[in-house]
Structure 1
């Protein structure tokens, strides 16, 4: 266990059982990973920096996520080169200027970049009232090494109702768990599976 893993972290209560340690990097995966990130963004205040590759075709559409979070809070950054995605995230976390920094990645980062992002978020916490929260969105089932927590979200829609399956697959401070998530941003309902 590393020294970083042993330090107790204040958690940002997002909604229901979804709590994320501040000043750390968390992973969202699954087909509804963008919805998960919007759920987190909607629960926090302040600007959101969203980093995605310039060549990506599945960027968030403001009309689609307006029910989760105010679109005017988002600043979108679209680097042309793959290494610049993590560089942008590292610099944003280090600055502490945005309480939430999201990077939509085309693949899994290695352990060294993840550790650098943790350190950058900690440093950003010394420059801001609240340490920034870092979210990486990874394709498929995820699996980035060294993240504080890994969350998988997938649609489980019913006729005339939005519903998702949310799973905490890994967390350094809580066991794996599964929920059905339904409702809307001001009234989410979590039903443990």
Structure 2
């Protein structure tokens, strides 16, 4: 994926991953994804980035990504799966990976939201990693409605498929400086990637119409 997907929200010192002009995730920070399609959201981010992806989850987790499903978003060969035995070890591994600056995306599939102190440590580690190498994005996957304190943004994703159209509802439920907002994320007809539109626009255009909003080359 071309590096021009990494743009600046306000200055060259604050790079972001842009999913849409109004849906951006700051790099070198920790974010949260929740909802039944939170792992799909993580795969979508992986699709929009270059390089290897570190995916951390407990060994008992039954909802691990399947390579056949992953391939619709990103090459499964890009992923390194690590299964620490304890929840504290999951967060420690994520912290060290972000601090290393070695990978662009670190995903931690957690059984529940972490506390404020671990999240602050993740932010600090990501900032240190950006100075050493790659400005990485840390993504916490939490069940239900999430709730990790201190995260940069929180995103909720759930399926909203219609006939033969693959689509999801994506809600930014928390951001430091932006209000909550909901989009429909629709699989591009040509395959690969998702288009984001507000629900009203998507209903007006229709699920099978050509979509250009939120596309990046």
Q: Could you state the TM-score of these two structures normalised by the residue count of structure 1?
A: 0.91
> Secondary structure, in 3 states, of the residue corresponding to 1:134?
strand
Cα drift, residue 186 of structure 1:
3.7
Q: Could you state the TM-score of these two structures normalised by the residue count of structure 2?
A: 0.82
Is 2:144 the partner of 1:132?
Answer: no
Structure of higher CA gyration radius: 2
Cα drift, residue 64 of structure 1:
0.8
RMSD: 1.6
1:148–1:34: structure 2 CA closer, same or farther, 3 Å change rule?
A: same
1:12-51 map, 5 Å: 12-15=17-20, 17-51=22-56
Aligned length: 186
- Following TM superposition, the consecutive aligned residue runs of length 4 or more in structure 1 with deviations greater than 6 angstroms are none
What is the match of residue 159 of structure 1?
Answer: 163
Cα drift, residue 187 of structure 1:
4.8
Highest relative contact order (Cα 8 Å, sep 6+), 1 or 2? 1
Indicate conservation of the 8 Å contact 2:47/2:193, yes or no: no
Indicate conservation of the 8 Å contact 1:114/1:146, yes or no: yes
Deviations 1:80-111 (A, max 9, x none): 11210100100100101111000000011000
Cα drift, residue 156 of structure 1:
0.5
1:63–1:46: structure 2 CA closer, same or farther, 3 Å change rule?
A: same
Give ranges in structure 2 of 5+ residues lacking alignment. 1-10, 200-217
